């Protein structure tokens, strides 16, 4: 059924299905791995808060006990010096200095200090507003130290008491004249000591909306559901828009094939990319041009000289165009294959594209750089030739010894030198099977000399053959600028040397 709806609809549907599957996989992975870890972290945090609360309680009790002992000791010492008379009167006199002494040594905030008589009546308190009661609790009185805690709305309050003893001047045994009572209140809402009962019990303190971790799961699932809902129209629209250019290119191929089948050999398709469809477009144009040329040759028995000149011009333009396009596409494919990670789904396609280009370039294995390389425009001719040598050596494994002198040339001359070097190295690798190549560039007065030498099997320059078109194109390019080309080669392993001489300056640049 889907085959009746067309390629564009099927591709858009595949976009939606693949994207939806990706969203579902991500959500499943998050729910399977992330949520349990978050819950475990929540439980660990609750246990840590419990331990902190227990430690805080112990610390609060110890601090309160220490303050109570120090207050009792200070008050007892002062009362002994005062003579240990009536307990309440003495306690009232010694309370203030005792409070000051304890506050100075302890420095605790939120602490209420109380000095009470033996019957529990409060003699003095610091601060006065901190303890409004007239007596201290009964459990805090007596001749022994006591402590405890009280849970209030603001948190946990700790209290401790210690007996105040005085020693008579005649050496009699110490006697209890009162009680030092200390209350440590919470420092404020949200401060220390504010742990809830659940936290003290080691349970996560969850809100009402998440009694069992449901909110954590929803926080992962809800965005995925929203993304999945939005993905349907967005994915369909993206699929339709992204496949539009591809469908138009395929339709142009189909229309061109139909026109060629009807006998129109002049039909051509614009090459709109370096991908597989672009290679089909290029192959279609090449096939159409070759068929057209074959038909023209069969019909053109007379006037061969004029038509030969036109075919030569067309062959040159085709040679440059095909070489540049195939080289650019191959370099893009090779760079993409290296840049993509090994696990990428696109890497196999890039490698396949590179291999297909290599098969297409049967007579052009030595890849050419682009028409006007960036290195030539930015860094000059020397850098472009060095890059050319490195590219051939890295891609084809033939060592190229590059020795270049810096020269200042017109743009047209630089372009010609670069193209001649490309063609010479390419011919050497395609036809000579060399083990090493030398590339030299030197300035000789008002001209520049380019030399490309290889140790391959050589050929007969007079015989032409497979080398003919490349050498003819090279000569035409150089002669247009007023230069010369000399080819020295010996068949049977004598190697080949191409020497090109060009003027440093020309009247006008050559495109």
pLDDT above 50 for 318:
no
User: How far is Cα of residue 69 from the mean position of the Cα atoms in its chain?
Assistant: 63
Closest CA relative to residue 60, chosen from 191, 179, 180: 191
pLDDT given at position 438: 94
CA 293/CA 451 separation, integer angstroms: 35
Most confident of 23-27, 277-281, 429-433, 435-439: 435-439
- Among residues of the chain, what percentage have pLDDT more than 90? 7
CA 441/CA 445 separation, integer angstroms: 13
How large is the average pLDDT for residues 245-262?
82
Whether the ω angle into residue 127 lies within 30 degrees of 0, i.e. cis, is yes
How large is the average pLDDT for residues 74-88?
74
Beta bridge partners of 113: 126, 182
pLDDT tens, position by position, 100-117? 877 645 545 678 888 888
How large is the average pLDDT for residues 62-88?
79
β-pair type (175-184, 155-166): antiparallel
Number of H helices, E strands in the chain: 12, 10
The answer to whether residues 38 and 216 touch, using CB atoms and an 8 Å cutoff, is yes
CA 425/CA 400 separation, integer angstroms: 9
pLDDT above 70 for 258:
yes
pLDDT given at position 320: 63
pLDDT above 80 for 419:
yes
The answer to whether residues 8 and 243 touch, using CB atoms and an 8 Å cutoff, is yes
pLDDT given at position 176: 85
The answer to whether residues 198 and 204 touch, using CB atoms and an 8 Å cutoff, is yes
CA 178/CA 150 separation, integer angstroms: 23
pLDDT given at position 221: 65
User: CA-CA-CA-CA torsion for 422, 427, 429, 431, nearest 10 degrees?
Assistant: 170
CA 201/CA 289 separation, integer angstroms: 87
- Among residues of the chain, what percentage have pLDDT more than 70? 71
* Confidence at 508, pLDDT banded by 50, 70, 90: very low
More confident residue, 262 or 218: 262
CA 220/CA 207 separation, integer angstroms: 18
CA 437/CA 496 separation, integer angstroms: 10
β-pair type (484-489, 400-404): unpaired
Closest CA relative to residue 120, chosen from 161, 153, 157: 161
More confident residue, 106 or 366: 106
pLDDT above 70 for 301:
no
CA 377/CA 451 separation, integer angstroms: 22
pLDDT above 60 for 10:
yes
Main-chain dihedrals φ then ψ at residue 260, nearest 5 degrees = -65, -35
Main-chain dihedrals φ then ψ at residue 150, nearest 5 degrees = -135, 125
How large is the average pLDDT for residues 356-367?
56
pLDDT given at position 246: 75
List, as own/partner pairs, every contact residues 219-228 make where C-beta atoms lie below 8 angstroms and the sequence separation is at least 24, other chains included.
Answer: 220/27, 220/30, 220/31, 220/34, 220/35, 221/27, 221/31, 224/23, 224/24, 224/26, 224/27, 224/30, 227/23, 228/20, 228/23, 228/24
CA 105/CA 375 separation, integer angstroms: 79
pLDDT given at position 399: 92
pLDDT tens, position by position, 156-211? 788 899 998 887 666 667 888 889 898 887 554 344 444 444 444 444 454 444 44
pLDDT above 90 for 129:
no
pLDDT given at position 500: 94
Q: What angle do CA 487, 489, 494 make, to 5 degrees?
A: 155
Q: What angle do CA 116, 119, 124 make, to 5 degrees?
A: 20
Cβ neighbours for 367, distance < 8 A, ≥ 6 positions apart: 326, 327, 330, 331, 361, 391, 392, 395
CA 9/CA 409 separation, integer angstroms: 56
Neighbour tally for 144: CB within 10 Å: 9
pLDDT given at position 370: 34
pLDDT above 60 for 213:
no
Q: Is the dihedral of CA 271, 276, 279, 283 positive or negative?
A: negative
Closest CA relative to residue 408, chosen from 380, 383, 388: 380
pLDDT above 60 for 248:
yes
The upper half-sphere exposure of residue 16, i.e. CA atoms within 13 Å in the direction of its Cβ, equals 19
Coil, strand or helix at 180: strand
* Confidence at 437, pLDDT banded by 50, 70, 90: very high
CA 6/CA 247 separation, integer angstroms: 10
pLDDT above 70 for 422:
yes
pLDDT tens, position by position, 445-504? 889 999 999 998 888 877 765 555 678 888 888 888 889 999 998 887 778 999 999 998
Cβ neighbours for 477, distance < 8 A, ≥ 6 positions apart: 416, 419, 420, 510
């Amino acid at each position: 059924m889907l085959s009746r709806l067309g390629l564009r609809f099927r591709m858009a549907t595949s976009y939606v299905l693949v994207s939806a599957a990706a969203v579902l996989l991500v959500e499943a992975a998050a729910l399977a791995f992330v949520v349990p870890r978050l819950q475990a972290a929540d439980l660990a945090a609750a246990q840590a808060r419990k331990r902190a609360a227990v430690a805080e309680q112990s610390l609060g009790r110890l601090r309160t006990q220490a303050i109570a002992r120090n207050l009792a000791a200070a008050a007892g010492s002062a009362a002994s010096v005062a003579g240990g008379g009536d307990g309440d009167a003495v306690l009232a006199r010694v309370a203030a200095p005792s409070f000051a002494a304890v506050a100075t040594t302890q420095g605790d905030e939120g602490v209420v200090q109380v000095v009470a008589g033996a019957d529990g009546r409060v003699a003095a308190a610091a601060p006065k507003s901190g303890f409004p009661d007239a007596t201290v609790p009964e459990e805090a009185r007596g001749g022994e130290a006591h402590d405890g805690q009280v849970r209030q709305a603001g948190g946990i309050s700790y209290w401790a008491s210690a007996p105040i003893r005085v020693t008579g001047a005649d050496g009699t045994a110490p006697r209890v004249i009162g009680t030092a009572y200390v209350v440590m209140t919470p420092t404020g809402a949200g401060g220390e000591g504010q742990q809830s009962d659940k936290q003290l019990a080691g349970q996560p303190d969850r809100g009402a909306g998440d009694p069992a971790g449901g909110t954590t799961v929803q926080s992962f699932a809800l965005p995925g559901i929203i993304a999945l809902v939005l993905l349907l129209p967005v994915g369909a629209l993206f699929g339709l828009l992204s496949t539009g250019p591809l469908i138009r290119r395929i339709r142009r191929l189909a229309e061109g094939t139909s026109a060629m089948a009807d006998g129109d050999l002049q039909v051509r398709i614009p090459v709109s990319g370096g991908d597989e469809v672009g290679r089909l477009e290029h192959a279609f144009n090449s096939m159409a041009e070759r068929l057209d040329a074959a038909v023209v040759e069969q019909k053109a028995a007379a006037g061969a000289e004029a038509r030969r000149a036109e075919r030569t011009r067309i062959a040159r333009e085709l040679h440059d165009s095909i070489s540049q396009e195939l080289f650019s596409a191959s370099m893009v494919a090779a760079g993409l294959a290296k840049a993509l990670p090994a696990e990428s789904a696109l890497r196999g396609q890039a490698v396949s594209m590179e291999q297909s280009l290599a098969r297409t370039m049967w007579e052009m294995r030595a890849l050419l750089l682009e028409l006007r390389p960036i290195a030539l425009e930015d860094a000059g001719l020397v850098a472009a030739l060095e890059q050319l040598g490195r590219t051939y050596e890295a891609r084809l494994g033939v060592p190229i010894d590059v020795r270049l002198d810096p020269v200042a040339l017109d743009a047209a001359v630089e372009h010609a030198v670069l193209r001649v070097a490309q063609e010479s190295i390419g011919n050497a690798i395609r036809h000579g099977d060399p083990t090493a190549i030398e590339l030299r560039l030197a300035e000789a007065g008002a001209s520049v000399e380019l030399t490309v030498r290889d140790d391959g099997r050589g050929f007969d320059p007079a015989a032409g053959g497979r080398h003919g078109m490349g050498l003819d194109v090279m000569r035409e390019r150089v002669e247009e600028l007023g230069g010369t080309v000399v080819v020295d080669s010996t068949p049977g392993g004598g190697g080949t040397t191409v020497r090109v001489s060009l003027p440093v300056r020309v009247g006008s640049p050559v495109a």
